[in-house]
Amino acid sequence: MFKKVLVANRGEIAVRVIRACREMGILSVAVYSDVDRASLHVRKADEAYHIGPAPAPESYLNISKILDVAKHSNAEAIHPGYGFLSENAKFAQACADAGIKFIGPSAAAMEMMGSKTRARQEMEKAGVPFVPGSVRGMQSRVEAERIAEEIGYPVMLKAAAGGGGKGMRLVNSKEELRPALDAAQSEAQRSFGDAEVYLEKAIVNPRHIEVQVLADEYGNTVYLGERECSIQRRHQKVLEESPSPIVGPEMRQKMGEVAVRVAKAAGYANAGTVEFLVDAQKNFYFLEMNTRLQVEHPVTELVTGWDLVHLQIRIANGERLPFTQQDVRLRGHAMECRIYAEDPDNNYFPSPGKITLLLAPSGPGIRRDSGMYEGWTVPVDYDPLLAKLIGYGENRDQTISRLVRALNEYFVGGIKTNISLFQRILDDEEFRAGKFDTGYLDRLLRSEAKRTKNNQADIAALAAGLFAMLDADSPLQGDEGGSVHAVSRTDSAFSGWKKTARIESLR
Amino acid sequence: MIYEILIDGRKFHLDLRREVKDSERWRCQLNGHELHVNGVLARPNILSILIDGKAFEVKRERIGSDLHLWVGSERYAAVLRDPRSFRSRRQTTDSLGGAKSLLAPMPGKVVRVLLNERDTVESGQGIVVVEAMKMQNEIKSPKRGIVRKLAVTQGDAVNAGDVLAIVE
């Protein structure tokens, strides 16, 4: 087994991998940028090295810098996590050239799957079902308009090198195509260093369901059930669960077998995910293969009982899969809430800043994979994912009630988070009935929020006084830190009071 | 101790005294109602309150200049004042009259400026694109009018609440 593994990532996933290393008796090496010196992954690792300034291209995407650290620290393998370099075939190849094991598939398999247009060509040969669309990237606006006419609006624009919704645009008409194309190309260039985009027929109100596959380096490939990922905003997954409320044993087997075929056609090794779009008639279409560990891998771990990161490391170490397809049994139900630093009252804009108070849930059926801690400042430079709260129970209902309970225990003060969004989703009848698609969350957010605020203003008033007497160190009036943005304030009585309070605290 | 408190804009008058010295029991007059309350600070920013055996946990949070108290998972805006140190209640008026400021909703970087000063702008039309945490967000005009001032240029770093532009 490896003695030392470098984790080329940050945040909760770096912590997740470092924990697996610790459990397996492997030393872990963290890397960090200027703004991540105090981040949790640096605190948890056995060793940590600085790799550059905050912008990712100069640190977490800097291949030569990361390989230098690996060599210098004698790390034998690199785990890339998700995002950053995890699906970068050049990086996988550079690791191989440097004699360092990349914990993931080969560069060749990544290259095939990494370009969605090429993946599509290969998979069509293997008889995998597809949504109609352009098989390669578009050379011009004229070509884009022609293809869109052919397959019919609405169409979806996607970055060839993309993932996670970046560079993706829904286009309803010819008029919308040009600006959407410009925006998608610019975002693709910015996010992936590759502006290539392609077009697909948009399936209206589909579900997004994916299958976890696992393959060793000897061609043994299994599927580990599906994950329902239809709860999305801006094409970013927000909540995932396994099993899917609409997938039965027969459909699971069919999707699983296609997923295994996809992996085998690519000569795939290690953990990967095959994503499908599912229409109202439960037809499923291959969407893409993610050649890495997914953010939502814990829900699969909970229902299968297998630790995917342990298995990734063992496969990379040259071991055979320790089980066959017949050994895979799903038990119970798991659901994950992605806790983002976002402001629910401000259209879910990112909300970085200092975490002044953190109360974290625990108890039966609750798993929390987190990269934050009280006193830590969430940097503005990276993805706003703070933590994942995962519930597990005998069945879907119990899992939901455990998550609702845990969300009520969860408190992140000082920054805004989307915790309240999950309380709203989990309370929604349609969601509870398992009736949703990828458009569900946008529809829910457009509908009027139920105003269930109990009138506890008197308790708050009492607390205000008690705080002033018991905890004057951090006075309620606050110190005069930030500037005032009175322009948008309409409640003049309120701001008058506030102004008075500020003057008082300045005296 | 006597406090004047605003909770979500509603006014409360609170007279708060310990029943005996160092006791966790308090005798309160809240808007004239007498209450017996057991209250302890569980840790900084977290209060445990018992009223007739009913338990409440209250958390205190400050973001920028806003203060909030959370009773369970409900959030209340709070302002507290000790009337003895009261000085003035001067109202501020918007010195810009009909002008509206476009504020940065989060810290980030200006990646594009879509209009020029003196351009006419429709309500809802994008003026500036700010990127934060890998998301590009178009900041849209709150009203129809003319771009009176552009306070930022491409590449500028901005903080939450910074003025990006003024539309009149």
- Per the CB < 8 A criterion, the answer to whether A374 and A328 are in contact is no
The tokens for B84 are 């003895």
CB of A495 within 8 Å of a chain B CB? The answer is: yes
Which residues of A are less than 8 Å from B107 in CB distance?
A: 352, 380
Under 8 Å CB pairs connecting chains A and B tally to 233
B94 within some domain: no
The region, left, alpha or beta by phi > 0 then psi within -120 to 50, assigned to residue A127 is: left
Bridge partners (DSSP) of residue A390 are: A336, A367
Indicate whether B123 and B73 sit together in one domain.
no
Cβ pair B9:A499 closer than 8 A: no
CATH of the domain at B7: 3.30.700.30
Is any Cβ of chain B less than 8 angstroms from the Cβ of A384? yes
> What's the structural domain count of chain B?
2
Residue A260 distance to chain B (closest CA, Å): 33
Among residues 307-366 of chain A, which lie with CB inside 8 Å of chain B? 341, 343, 346-347, 349-353, 356-357, 359
Q: Which residue of B has its CA nearest to A451?
A: B74
CA distances from B128 to A105, B108, B121 (A): 41, 12, 12
Cβ distance B103 to A478 less than 8 Å, yes or no, reads no
Sheet holding A101-102, edge to edge: A47-52, A27-33, A4-7, A77-79, A101-102
Chain A hits for B163, CB-CB cut-off 8 Å, are 487
Q: Are A141 and A147 in contact (CB under 8 A)?
A: no
Full domain range(s) for residue B8: 2-85
Domain finish residue from B52, B85, B118: B85
CATH numbers and ranges of domains, chain A: 4-103 (3.40.50.20), 132-201 (3.30.1490.20), 207-446 (3.30.470.20), 467-506 (no CATH)
Q: Residue written as tokens 């800097």?
A: A62
In tens digits, chain A (507 residues) has pLDDT values of 999 999 999 999 999 999 999 999 999 999 999 999 999 999 999 999 999 999 999 999 999 999 999 999 999 999 999 999 999 999 999 999 999 999 999 999 999 987 777 887 888 888 899 888 876 777 788 888 999 998 889 998 888 877 666 778 889 999 999 999 988 888 888 888 888 888 888 888 899 999 999 999 999 999 999 999 999 998 899 999 999 999 999 999 999 999 999 999 999 999 999 999 998 889 999 988 999 999 999 999 999 999 999 999 999 999 999 999 999 999 999 999 999 999 998 889 888 899 999 999 999 999 999 999 999 999 999 999 999 999 999 999 999 999 999 999 999 999 999 999 999 999 999 999 999 999 999 999 998 877 666 689 999 999 999 999 998 755 444 433 333 333 333 334 444 455 555 544 544
Q: β-strands A221-233, A207-215: how paired?
A: antiparallel
Query: Do B52 and B119 fall within a single domain?
Result: no
**Domain-embedded: residue B73:** yes
| Global pTM value | 0.80
Query: Complex ipTM, two decimals?
Result: 0.75
Pick the residue of B3, B7, B109 with the most A CBs within 10 A to test the interface with A by mutation: B7
Q: How many CB atoms neighbour CB A132 within 10 A?
A: 13
CB A353 within 8 A of CB A259: no
Pick among A487, A499, A503, A507 to test the B interface (most B CBs inside 10 A): A487
Same domain, yes or no, for B16 and B68? yes
Task: Name all contacts of A444-452 with Cβ < 8 Å and 24+ positions apart.
Answer: A445/A233, A449/A424, A450/A424
With respect to residue B148, please indicate whether it lies within any of the assigned structural domains: yes
For residue A450, give how far its alpha carbon lies from the nearest alpha carbon of chain B (Å): 13
Q: Is the Cβ–Cβ distance between A502 and A477 less than 8 Å?
A: yes
Looking at the structure, tell me whether residues B104 and B57 fall in a common domain: no
Adjacent-strand bridge partners of A328? none
Give the CA count within 13 Å in the CB-facing half-sphere of A344: 14
* Residues of A carrying an active site annotation: 292
- Strand partners for A156: A170, A200
The continuous run of DSSP H or E covering A299 comes out as helix A297-304
Give me the residue from A343, A462, A487 closest to B28, CB to CB.
A462
Is the preceding peptide bond at A364 cis, omega within 30 degrees of 0?
no
CATH number, position B148? 2.40.50.100
Instruction: Please count the CA atoms within 13 angstroms of the CA of A132 that sit on its side-chain side.
Output: 11
DSSP code, position A464 = H
* Burial A158-169, CB ≥16 within 10 A → b, else e: bbbbbbbbbbbb
| Helix axes of A174-192 and A141-151: crossing angle, nearest 10 degrees | 120
The beta-carbon neighbor of A478 closest among B1, B58, B65 is B65
Maximum pairwise Cα distance, chain B: 68
- B79 & B105 share domain: no
Q: Please tell me the distance in Å from B165's CA to the nearest CA on chain A.
A: 12
Domain boundary, last residue among B55, B85, B115: B85
Answer yes or no: do B77 and B7 share one domain: yes
Q: Which residue of A has its CA nearest to B5?
A: A461
